[in-house]
């Protein structure tokens, strides 16, 4: 007897799900019930769908599976940041982080298992790219961190940033589908204005965001505003240089009217001089923007170090003197390797061992 290959039911949009269930001789209204279980109630199994008959649940089990992620490990920082290691299909692991501050609760989520871009300052870049995450696996991270925010800290999740593991624009279809589900009334119902997608800079995909008239925020990981320096720390600059990115950002802004965020990790004696600030100010004229200066979080090789506070302040002051909107972002979750650029699937045992060795 030929076996039916199960399909991932969360890969179906509502209309496709309805058509598929009708093809299995089910009434159209069943699609709405199943869809609600998947995206509003976040069911992890068909058995949980208690308003469906036993026969229908068995039929769903025969034909479909749910690509649910599971929590493998969790660490809580001294500053209340929570880092979660999530296990996905084939025992692969991705990380998501809940970042609490006085004004917001932010979920930082991953879009890929590993990363292909190899930025020299980023721990995730040391991992090879294993695969894209599905839309369902991305949404699951948000749901888990949202529940942590509500249950542990009694606060609603206020923001989502696609700044975890992976390059979101290299998983374009699933990232946009996940945002559709997060913002849909039939999903989490969150405003797209509270979602930011961060890219290392892929010009043609930035243009595509403009063509698709996206409503969420776009951030560009810039980190240097001249090609020579940027190429040294980000290989992607070889194929997406600053001139190409500038033109793509202009196109994006013309299509969407949205302001762009430039992310600038500031490294000691590399990109922290006033000359670097002058170059950044000149580049930032290409579109209406704000600039986030980000404190560097050292990783194992020690190639880069944190910039001195007085240099950071002078850098920011220069940009502000040019009428640019500037925020200095302090790192959170450093003691559990949860800060920006540190996500590399370190478990508790490894992290504890490293802290012991550093203290010896």
Q: Which residue has the higher pLDDT, 63 or 116?
A: 63
Q: Any idea where the domains of the chain sit in the sequence?
A: 7-65, 70-359
Q: Are 29 and 86 in contact (CB under 8 A)?
A: no
Q: How many CB atoms lie within 10 A of CB 226?
A: 16
For residue 308, pLDDT beyond 60:
yes
Q: Which residue has the higher pLDDT, 340 or 275?
A: 275
For residues 161-176, give the mean pLDDT.
96
Nearest to 284 by CA among 203, 215, 222: 222
For residues 19-35, give the mean pLDDT.
95
- Cα gap 274→276, rounded to integer Å: 5
Q: CATH code for 70-359? A: 3.20.20.70
Q: Does the annotation mark 340 as catalytic?
A: yes
| Active-site option among 26, 84, 95, 115 | 95
Q: Annotate the chain with three-state secondary structure.
A: CCCCCCEEHHHCCHHHHHHHHHHCCCCCHHHHHHHHHHHCCCCCCHHHCCCCCHHHHHHHHHHEECCCCEEEEEEECCCCCEEEEEEEHHHEEEEEEEEECCCCEEEECCCEECCCCCCCCCCHHHCCCCEECCHHHHHHHHHHHHHHHHHHHCCCCCEEEECCCCCHHHHHHHHHHHHHHHHCCCCCCCCHHHEEEEECCCHHHHHHHHHCCCCCEEEEECCCCCHHHHHHHCHHHHCCCHHHHHHHHHHHHHHHCCCEEEEEEEECCCCCCHHHHHHHHHHHHHCCEEEEEEECCCCCCCCCCECCHHHHHHHHHHHHHCCCEEEEECCCCHHHCCCCCCCCCCCHHHHHHHHHHHHC
How distant, in Å, are the alpha carbons of 49, 79, 85, 301 from that of 73?
A: 27, 18, 5, 25
pLDDT, residue 358, reads 35
For residues 40-69, give the mean pLDDT.
95
| Active-site option among 115, 119, 289, 340 | 340
For residue 360, pLDDT beyond 60:
no
Range scoring the smallest mean pLDDT among 28-32, 140-144, 187-191, 303-307: 303-307
pLDDT, residue 334, reads 58
Kindly state the tokens that stand for 77. Answer: 């920082």
Place of tokens 């600039």: 291
At 130-162, the pLDDT tens digits run: 999 999 999 999 999 999 999 999 999 999 999
Q: Does the annotation mark 95 as catalytic?
A: yes
pLDDT, residue 223, reads 96
Range scoring the smallest mean pLDDT among 254-258, 275-279, 327-331, 338-342: 338-342
For residue 336, pLDDT beyond 90:
no
For residue 66, pLDDT beyond 70:
yes
Q: CATH code for 7-65? A: 1.10.150.530
Range scoring the smallest mean pLDDT among 13-22, 182-191, 309-318, 350-359: 350-359
For residue 2, pLDDT beyond 70:
no
Confidence of residue 115 (pLDDT cuts 50, 70, 90): confident
Q: Are 120 and 232 in contact (CB under 8 A)?
A: yes
List the beta bridge partners of residue 100: 105
- Cα gap 223→117, rounded to integer Å: 15
pLDDT, residue 351, reads 43
- Cα gap 319→199, rounded to integer Å: 22
Kindly state the tokens that stand for 208. Answer: 């595509």
């Amino acid at each position: 007897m030929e076996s039916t290959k199960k399909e991932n039911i969360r890969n179906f949009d509502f209309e496709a799900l309805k058509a598929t269930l009708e093809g299995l001789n089910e009434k159209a209204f069943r699609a709405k019930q199943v869809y609600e279980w998947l995206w509003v109630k976040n069911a992890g199994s068909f058995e949980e769908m208690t308003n469906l008959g036993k026969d229908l649940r068995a039929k769903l089990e025969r034909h479909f599976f749910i690509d649910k992620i599971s929590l493998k490990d969790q660490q809580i920082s001294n500053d209340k940041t929570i880092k979660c290691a999530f296990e996905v299909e084939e025992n692969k692991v991705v990380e998501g982080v809940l970042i609490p501050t006085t004004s917001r609760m932010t979920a930082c989520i991953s879009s890929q298992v590993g990363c292909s871009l190899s930025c020299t300052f980023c721990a995730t870049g040391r991992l090879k790219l294993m695969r894209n995450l599905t839309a369902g696996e991305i949404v699951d991270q948000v749901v888990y961190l949202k529940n942590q925010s509500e249950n542990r800290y009694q606060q609603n999740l206020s923001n989502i940033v696609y700044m975890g593991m992976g390059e979101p624009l290299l998983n374009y279809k699933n990232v946009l589908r996940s945002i559709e589900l997060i913002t849909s009334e039939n999903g989490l119902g969150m405003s797209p204005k509270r979602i930011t997608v961060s890219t290392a800079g892929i010009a043609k995909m930035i243009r595509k965001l403009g063509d698709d008239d996206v409503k969420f925020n776009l951030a560009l990981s810039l980190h240097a505003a001249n090609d020579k320096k940027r190429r040294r720390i980000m290989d992607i600059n070889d194929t997406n240089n600053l001139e190409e990115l500038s033109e793509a950002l202009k196109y994006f802004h013309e299509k969407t009217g949205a302001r762009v965020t430039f992310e600038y990790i500031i490294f000691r004696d590399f990109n922290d001089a006033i000359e670097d600030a002058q170059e950044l100010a000149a580049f930032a004229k290409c579109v209406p923007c704000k600039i986030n200066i980000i404190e560097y979080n050292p990783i194992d090789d020690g190639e880069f170090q944190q910039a001195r506070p007085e240099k950071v302040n002078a850098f920011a002051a220069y940009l502000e003197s040019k009428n640019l909107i500037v925020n200095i972002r302090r790192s959170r979750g450093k003691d559990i390797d949860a800060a920006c650029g540190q996500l590399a699937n370190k478990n508790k045992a490894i992290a504890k061992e490293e802290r012991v060795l550093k203290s010896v």
